Every structure is written in C-alpha cells, then in structure tokens.
Amino acid sequence: MSAVGSTSPVMREAPLVRVEGLSKRYPVVGASGDRLSALGRLLLGRAPLREVEVLSGIDLTIHRGESLGIVGENGAGKSTLLKLITGTLTPSTGRVVGEARIGALLELGAGFHPEYSGRENVRMAAAIHGLAGEALAAKLPEIEAFAEIGRYFDEPVKHYSSGMVVRLGFAVIAATRPDLLITDEVLAVGDERFQKKCIRWIDQYLAEGGTLLLVSHSTYHVQKLCRHAIWLKDGRIEAQGDAFDVTQRYQAWLEQREAVDLAATAAGGDFRIDAMEVAMHGMESPQGGTIRIALRASSRHGERPHLLVGLSRIDGTAIFGTGTEIDGVAAWPIGAEGQVGAQLVLEDVRLQPGDYRLRAHAMDPEALRVFDTVERTFSVGGASREFGLLRLPHRWEAP
C-alpha cells in the first residue's frame, strides 16, 4: 500500500508511526471446550486449531502533522487497528514502528479506576503521559475547568455517566498534548456543547502541528477534521486517500447495500411504493424553485397506506420531512383496489448548490412502520459563498 501523507515540507520528516504488514487473528472459542483447547495449545507454543482473522496485511504510514480518519462497518477491524498501534494488543504478524508519545481515547473508562475520584484518576493518567509533580499541579485547574463536571471531580468515577467519563479523559489529553492523538468514537458521546468544544480543541491541536488518528461512523467529523482517510472492510484496506473521496465512496457503498436490503424487505411487505416521479423548476434561482413529487403506492390487502417524504443533503443531513398522516390527509384512491396516489408540492425551495436526496416511504395505516422506501438524488448548481443548506431571503439595512 502507498503511504498516506501529504507532500508539504513538514510531511517529509521521518514517519511518526509506521505500520508494516499488520494482521491480527483470534482463536475461535464459540463451541464448548474451544477456550480450554486454545489455552492449552497456547501454553504448548502451538497455534489454535481454528482462528478468525480480524485484520489482515495493513500497511500504513502516519507522518507528524497528519490527520487520518478511519471509516468502516462495525467489525471491520477499526478498533483492533487502534489497539495494535497503541500497543494494547500484540499483532499476530507484522509490526508497528515508532516512538511517538500517544494519547488514546478508546473504550469508555479505560484506564480509570472506578473507586477513585476524578482528581485521583487524573493524577494517575497524567503521570502515564509524563505529567507529574509541579507541572501537574499547575495543569490541574486547567484540566478541571476543561472537564466541566463540577463537584463530581472529587467523587468516584463509578458515579459518572458515560459523557462525564469522556469529559475527564479528553481533559487529560488536552492538558498533556501528545504527539499522536487517537480517538475511537468519543465524539459521539456526551452533549453537543462539549462535542463542539472538543472539535475546536482538535482544530487548534492540528493547526499547531498535532497528529490525529480518528475512528468515527460520522463522515461529517472525518471530513471536517481529517485530510486523509482509509476505509476498512472485512479487516483489509478497501480504499485510502483524500478524506472526501474515501468517505463518499464508503457512503455510496452503504447506500447501495441499504437499497438492496430495502428492496428485499419490500418484496414481502404489505405496502409498497410503485412509482416516484420528481419534477423541478427554477431550483438554481436565488428566488427559489418548486419540487413536485408524484407518488403511487399499493397495498396487498386493500388498506390505504400513509406516505412520507424526506429531503436531505447527500451526506444524510435532514432538511425537511412531512407525510400524509402528519398533515392530516389521506392518499387518494386510484386505479384498482389498494392503489393510491398523492403529489407533494414543495414551493419556494431555496437550496444551496450541492447534492441532495429525496426519499419516499410507504407506511401502514397507523403510520407506525415503514414498509418500503424509494429515493431519488439530484443536484443544484450555481455559485454561492453563503453558508448552510438553504438560501434565506434577506437584506442588509443601515443602522
């Protein structure tokens, strides 16, 4: 595999971390006696009879100042790769080379003693990172302020919520400023305000030459924080390169698979979308355009389904959604028994230039379950330096 890095001068230094031919296998211990057999063979210096490979042949180079995101499904090997890089797991084959001072936020609560207070845990965690004595005493107020957990700072960690544990762990990392920061989905835990605080800190950390390795299911976070990314699939690197290119390829694969799953579900469902036609007019005009969505649906047993329509950005960010049940109307009968139709007209739509998706869903008469989904994607052209998803009517006036 080619190295993931930048061609800027700062990136031509010796790699901070180099991963060479990294693989990880675990013994299969699902059946009765497998665990005992695996332990016995391990004591005898023999390989287990049955193994499963969760990571295979990973080659990766991480330079100082790099920001690398890792995406992939659950079970793809993302967390295993991070643990191998941090040294908490031993590889089956290959090696990790580097002398970087690593700060890792992996499993919630990892490294914290539940019976000790937050303050005591901070002292122990900071010492591991080389921060102790007078230096720690000077940093302790900063750590306490960053964590924002109030009186809980002096209470046992076992009383903390998951969000408070992340606050404490991130506060230690922020104070110690490691050479390489490794995070595994921690930005998905806790309240939105603290997430934004962490993202601001990471932005500054990267601007000052820090190095980031980020695992996340949020392609938004990967695109915002990382210049490069890799997509892990079944324990192997499926794609690597520019963060936008890799995450968009990964997202397209997820959506294609979801469409197949939805089609399989709909084949045996009671309600389905038979047709969806989309007509647009004036969408590139700053004054707004019109979107007309014509739907035809059917019911296996003659009942009248409810119809739901959602508009989102291509990355999944919701913009608007409504349905016949929400608006207090019913789809109109057409054709044979059980066939219905409706048109939804969205007026004065002022979308910013970009790619978007319309989804239509057939729901049961109680509007509780989705039975079928179809979608259409479209693009809005034009040039705009405004921010956000929508163009809102506005004007500037003298004070």
Domains of the chain: 268-380 (2.60.40.10)
Strand order of the sheet with strand 370-380?
318-323, 306-313, 354-363, 370-380
* Token pair in block for residue 11: 């990136």
CA 294 and chain centroid, separation? 33
HSE of 234, CA atoms in CB hemisphere, 13 A: 1
* Total number of residues shown for the chain: 399
pLDDT at 17: 93
Q: How far apart, in whole angstroms, are the C-alpha atoms of residue 65 and residue 38? A: 42
pLDDT at 364: 87
pLDDT at 191: 73
Q: How far apart, in whole angstroms, are the C-alpha atoms of residue 77 and residue 72? A: 8
pLDDT at 6: 40
Q: How far apart, in whole angstroms, are the C-alpha atoms of residue 203 and residue 197? A: 10
pTM: 0.63
pLDDT at 108: 59
Q: How far apart, in whole angstroms, are the C-alpha atoms of residue 286 and residue 150? A: 48
Q: What is the pLDDT along the chain (399 residues), one digit of tens a residue?
A: 444 444 444 445 678 999 999 999 887 655 555 556 656 555 666 655 567 889 999 999 999 999 999 999 988 999 899 999 988 899 999 999 988 888 888 765 667 888 999 999 999 988 888 888 888 899 999 999 999 899 999 999 999 888 888 889 889 888 888 899 998 876 666 677 888 888 889 999 999 999 999 998 888 889 888 999 999 999 999 999 999 899 988 988 887 777 666 655 555 568 889 999 999 998 888 788 999 999 999 988 788 899 999 999 887 888 999 999 999 998 999 877 778 999 999 999 999 888 899 999 998 888 888 888 999 998 888 777 777 788 888 788 889
Q: Cα angle at 183 between 65 and 224, to 5 degrees?
A: 60
pLDDT at 287: 80
